[in-house]
Amino acid sequence: MPTTQQRLAIVGDLHYETSQHAALIHAQQQLVALEPHAVVSLGDQGGYSHCGTRLSFTEGYEYFSGFGVPFHALIGNHDMEGAEFKKDKDAVAAWCEVFEQERPYTTVDWGTAVGVILSQTSFRGNLGSHHEVHIDQAQLDWFAHTLAEYADRPIMVFSHAPILGSGIRVLQDLHLKGPNAYLNHYTYPERFMELVQANPHIKLWFSGHNHLGHDYQDTITHVGHCTFVHGGVIGNHTRDGRRHTRFLTFDHTGFDLHTVNHADGRLRQDIRVDFAQNQMIRYQQFPPQDLARYFPPPPYPNGQGITVGNSVLLHHRDMLVEYDRTLAAPIGVVADNLNGAQVDVEGDVVVIRHSSGVVNRRAPNAYGRYLYTYFPNPWRQEK
């Protein structure tokens, strides 16, 4: 097993389109020049014109094969949406066939650390939004077993979406409303942070999904012993105009994380983390930036808002945002277009009285949450 310093390129949502081929190849060449030992794709290989098709899988496979080093890919939400497949298991099987994998989740032995690759396996079967990045129970059991098996080495996890409680920036008016901001967003998303807290050898967790660059303070967070990192996009499907890729170097002492800016190919150092001291040093500080469309929810409202059960409700940008009290994290949007509506709590029911006289009542769902599913699963509605 290798014990010297390892170099990884972590590529966010690819969304390959033929029209972007030249730009994507140029970005690939920028990364190859850094001589990575391996490449990790954070999912969503296919372009929006044909996401979730066998063609999109093949295009993704061919693109990552072009790096000339071992690559490891995972399934994102858009990789599951193709009409070509009628069942989730068929989409997963086709992806595995193209990417030459027995299953869509796996481990990678990098000597001084172990990589854990997690993949979405449910889309049409999701209870909430079909675009929720859902990890099935069999994979969760495997993940817990893997953490125990490699308890003597640092673990680096790679998933398409971040996890609840990580503090990674999520988008209020898109993913939080889905709800599809986090892994298993609708069904007990807190279980992933419970695993992180119980396994301090999880040192890094990479995710994509948000299509934002790296010039925000909350695209890197440090919670407990784990550093959470958002990976930007390599192509033109960017929500803020930035095309960024993460570049990681690590050994048994810790790691250095860099950003590759594909606009000019420059490499900048973002952080350094020492494993023994559990200390993160930031080399980049970013002022708050409030995007007009793709904005995050505000920080946890300590001492503010309305408390009901394990939730805190806060009015923000004409929406009622729900926070998890235990993890101090935004969990969903209860209502939007409030327009001065009055919000009260009667027992465990949230009551929203609009100026028009319309009254909406939100009782907790089966998971004790009040969030509303703005993008419900159409396949489950048909059943």
Distance CA 333, CA 316 (A): 10
Beta carbons of 377 and 128 less than 8 angstroms apart: yes
What is the reported pLDDT for 271? 98
Of 162, 179, 169, 173, residue with least CA distance to 292: 173
Distance CA 381, CA 383 (A): 6
What is the reported pLDDT for 1? 39
| pLDDT tens digit at each of 383 positions of the chain | 345 899 999 999 999 999 999 999 999 999 999 999 999 999 999 999 999 999 999 999 999 999 999 999 999 999 999 999 999 999 999 999 999 999 999 999 999 999 999 999 999 999 999 999 999 999 999 999 999 999 999 999 999 999 999 999 999 999 999 999 999 999 999 999 999 999 999 999 999 999 999 999 999 999 999 999 999 999 999 999 999 999 999 999 999 999 999 999 999 999 999 999 999 999 999 998 878 889 999 999 988 999 999 999 999 999 999 999 999 999 999 999 999 999 999 999 999 999 999 999 999 999 999 999 999 999 886 54
Domain boundaries along the sequence of the chain:
6-282, 306-382
6-282 has CATH 3.30.43.10 classification:
no
What is the reported pLDDT for 382? 55
